[in-house]
A and B are shown apart, each in its own frame.
Chain A
Amino acid sequence: MKDLFLRLKGIDQRWWYLALALGIILFPWFTSNYWISVAVFFGIYALLGLSLNIILGYAGLFQLGHAAFWAVGAYTTAILNTRYGIPIFVTLPISALVSALFAILITKPILHLRGDYLCLVTIGFGEIVRLFLFNDPLGITGGINGIRGIDRPSIFGFVFHQPIHYYYLTLAFVVFTIFAMRRLENSRLGRAWIYVREDELAAEAMGIDTTQVKLLAFIIGAAWAGVAGTLYASRYTVIAPETFSFWNSCVMFCIVIIGGVGSIPGVLVGTLGMVVLPELLRDVLEEVVQWRMLVFGAAMMLMMIFRPEGFWPSPIRRHELRAAELTASE
């Protein structure tokens, strides 16, 4: 057994990546539509997790209202598409832009807040957005019923209407996002986020415009969540305010924290844990469905007690957390 393990470890890493890539590409051909749908759901939440990771992971800003940006993206697409017939692939960049503008509008006045205070304000704006959609003061969001009849995306006459089409579309977005995030991490801006997170005053004294750097984290994170919103709206063709609830902001928050703050593979593992695991539990605990969320909640508690840095943390973040624990215990 140990021998086998060692032999597996000896295999060149690239073969593992190749096998993983092949597995992901071929996955929909060997499974049911149900699991393909779960995979698409995973993909959309992975995008949301990765976008929140910019704000929460890279810049270290406590954001518990991320569903608001997701909602702005989804509703922008839904309104433009159902009212004006604008195709999904055109509304996609517009949604990203509107979410980004929305982020500038609401986060600019609160950027100087720290930690828990910022967190409370973000919970507040998340709720305001949900209530706005629910009460529909402008008569465009459809109130409690939301908006239905959103088009499927289509390109050159090809309509993405089957789960398998959506699987590959979402996959393409996730792959591009991972690629872009890796490059952002290793850039001037990525380093600036680390500096701000580590010591804001020192960063400011080193000539970094900390307000601008934090605002950029919100802008990029919101734009990406807006893209996820467009994908979501066109996948389900119906959106309603309850999807963009505080609970979903919490799920995104947990994806990043449990997976490993600031770490791309961590966010993907976190998404598996938060989105796919409950689906698996649904099968296993069929007899006792009401136990599902109990098991899930207990798992989260154990996780935070025994592995607070998450499943797959970024090395810098692990150091930061250890250091914080040391000072706390002194």
Chain B
Amino acid sequence: MALLEVKGLTKRFGGLTAVKRLDFHLDEGEILGMIGPNGAGKTTVFNLITGIYPPDGGEIRLNGQSLLGLRPHVITELGIARTFQNIRLFANITALENVMAGQHCRTRAGVLGAIFRLRSQRLEEQRILREAERCLRFLGLYEKRHELAKNLPYGDQRRLEIARALATGPQLLILDEPTAGMSEKESSELMDIISQVRDSGVTILLIEHDMKVVMGISDRIIALDNGEKIAEGRPAEVQRNQRVIEAYLGKEEV
């Protein structure tokens, strides 16, 4: 059974159909790249999967369980974590505190635990800290853990978002243009990290605008244009696909 299954997914904004009867699936342990020109509907698909928008039609299933109508935090708890295209860190707190947010849905301490510092609460706090530090190390940010998120350089902020998402303990990690605005060197380093994340057992869905980045790392690619799937397959196949080339470069005038 596929880890994630999307069938007939449709989303309209007023008169505009942003996503049209989209079908795709993700197998466990793979990296699926989603490409398409600006406005193709990639981010909308992400927002539908993570429950930020309700779809107008279709079905989304994780491990066979429907995600329709679930609130975003429940979907995260079920095992889907994401990053944002325009970075959405908690800017005014430290990198470590940012990543600790990810552990919230895996822990339970409440008001009384906090006030009376019960043993279970103290142990849980230690666990949160250890897990957050592990994720920071994984992304190479451990040394900068006490810096405020907003004071980190741009590339570090992108990586911090991934660390925060990983701290939720996801089965599926959704990355929305993780290399946007990065130098070539930074983005190739990030691709190495993403491969490592996959090797640690997390399935990855990756939006990329930049074809070069996504071709090297993805097992499979789907291409969107105007909210519709125009191609699907191995990177080399999709790259040669006539409709994909047209979508990116425009149709040749005859």
Contact = CB atoms under 8 A, between A and B. Distances in A.
Contact of B73 (A188, A208, A319, A320): A208
Interface stretch (B24-32, B87-95, B189-197, B218-226): B87-95
B101 interface: yes
B88 A201 contact: yes
A191 B97 contact: yes
Given A184-B111, A189-B110, A195 B101 contact: yes
Nearest to A206: B101
A323 interface: yes
A210 interface: yes
B44 to A, nearest CB: 15
Interface in B105-139: 105-107, 109-111, 113-115, 117, 121, 124-125, 128
Contact of A187 (B82, B90, B109): B109
Given A198-B90, A206-B76, A323-B150, A189 B114 contact: yes
Contacts of A184: 111, 114-115
Given A204-B71, A205-B52, A316-B93, A192 B88 contact: no
Interface in B29-87: 50, 52, 71-73, 76-77, 81-82, 84
A203 to B, nearest CB: 7
Of the candidates B73, B76, B89, B128, the one having the most CB atoms from chain A within 10 angstroms of its own CB is B73
A209 interface: yes
Given A184-B114, A189-B110, A194 B90 contact: yes
Specify the main secondary structure of chain A where it touches its partner. helix
Contacts of A191: 97, 100-101, 104
A190 B114 contact: yes
Nearest to A192: B104
B91 A323 contact: yes
Nearest to A186: B114
Contacts of B115: 180, 183-184
A124 B80 CA distance: 40
B102 A319 contact: no
A205 B89 CA distance: 11
A206 B128 contact: no
A325 to B, nearest CB: 13
A205 B109 contact: no
A190 B100 CA distance: 12
A57 B124 CA distance: 25
A184 B50 CA distance: 30
Contact of B92 (A188, A192, A209, A319): A319
Contact of B168 (A188, A198, A206, A220): A206
B5 to A, nearest CB: 21
B148 interface: yes
Contact of A195 (B50, B81, B90): B90
Interface string A195-236: 100110111111111100000100010000000000000000
Specify the main secondary structure of chain B where it touches its partner. helix
Contacts of A188: 104, 107, 109, 114, 121, 124-125, 128
Contact of A208 (B92, B101, B109, B150): B101
B145 interface: no
Contacts of B81: 205-207
A208 B104 contact: yes
A319 B72 CA distance: 28
B90 A207 contact: no
A210 B73 contact: yes
A209 B76 CA distance: 10
Of the candidates A192, A194, A216, the one having the most CB atoms from chain B within 10 angstroms of its own CB is A194
A191 B150 CA distance: 17
A77 to B, nearest CB: 22
Given A194-B93, A198-B92, A207 B50 contact: no
Interface string A263-305: 0000000000000000000000000000000000000000000
Given A183-B114, A184-B114, A220-B111, A207 B168 contact: yes
B159 interface: no
Given A198-B90, A208-B105, A320-B92, A187 B164 contact: no
A194 B88 CA distance: 14
Nearest to A219: B111
A187 to B, nearest CB: 3
Of the candidates B50, B82, B111, B164, the one having the most CB atoms from chain A within 10 angstroms of its own CB is B111
15 contacts: A184-B114, A184-B115, A187-B125, A194-B90, A194-B97, A201-B52, A204-B71, A207-B73, A207-B81, A207-B102, A220-B111, A316-B93, A319-B91, A319-B92, A323-B92
Given A184-B111, A205-B52, A206-B104, 9 more contacts: A191-B97, A192-B101, A194-B90, A195-B104, A206-B168, A207-B102, A208-B101, A209-B71, A319-B92
Interface of A: 180, 183-184, 186-192, 194-195, 198-199, 201-210, 216, 220, 316, 319-320, 323
Please list the 4 inter-chain residue pairs (A to B) with the smallest Cβ-Cβ separation, ordered nearest first.
A207-B105, A187-B114, A207-B76, A319-B92
